[in-house]
């Protein structure tokens, strides 16, 4: 079982008391639910701007953990990987998963009951069926022209 949030030195329910712009780095990072959806390649409709998720994942996504295999050094491998921050969050909402804590909090919505900060365990995102655990394909294995064949519907 994962270490309780309080043991990580974070205040209880800090996300309800502190705006995103005032969070420490560890608080900001703790908001990530570990679903892996932000690491999926997306397709954007040129006419409507609508963004579709595909199960085609970034080469660095670990399909078993739904975490970046080289998080701290990811820009050495994927230079255009977006570093989400309070200052660029609003500009990136359009491609973020509907279940994403950063997006939910920015929009004034609560975290889902399965979110690890609520449940106390990182496994809850997988148990709830919200993560991409065991469901992705490597971008090395799917030609760019075939990504449309792998569009997924996102659970809300």
The pTM (predicted TM-score) of the whole model is 0.88
State which residues form the domain around 64: 5-152
107-150 pLDDT, tens digit each: 999 999 999 999 999 999 999 999 999 999 999 999 999 999 99
Only one residue has tokens 């009951």, namely 113
**Residues 79 and 59: beta-carbon distance below 8 Å:** no
Q: How many domains is the chain partitioned into structurally?
A: 1
* pLDDT tops 50 at residue 1: no
Count of beta carbons in the 10 Å neighbourhood of residue 109: 11
Nearest by Cα to 99 from 44, 152, 24, 21: 152
Count the alpha carbons within 13 Å of 82 in the hemisphere toward its beta carbon.
15
């Amino acid at each position: 079982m994962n270490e309780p949030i309080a043991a990580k030195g974070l205040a209880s329910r800090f996300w309800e008391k502190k705006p995103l712009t005032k969070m420490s780095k560890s608080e900001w990072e703790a908001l990530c639910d570990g679903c892996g959806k932000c690491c999926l390649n997306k397709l954007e409709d040129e006419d409507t701007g609508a963004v579709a998720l595909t199960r085609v994942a970034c080469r660095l996504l670990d399909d078993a953990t739904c975490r970046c295999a080289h998080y701290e050094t990811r820009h050495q491998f994927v230079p255009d990987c977006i570093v989400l921050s309070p200052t660029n969050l609003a500009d990136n909402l359009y491609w973020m998963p509907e279940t994403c804590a950063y997006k939910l909090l920015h929009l004034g919505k609560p975290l889902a009951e399965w979110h690890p900060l609520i449940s106390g365990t990182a496994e809850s995102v997988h148990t709830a069926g919200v993560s991409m655990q065991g469901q992705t394909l490597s971008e090395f294995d799917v030609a760019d022209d075939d990504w449309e064949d792998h569009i997924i519907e996102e659970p809300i």
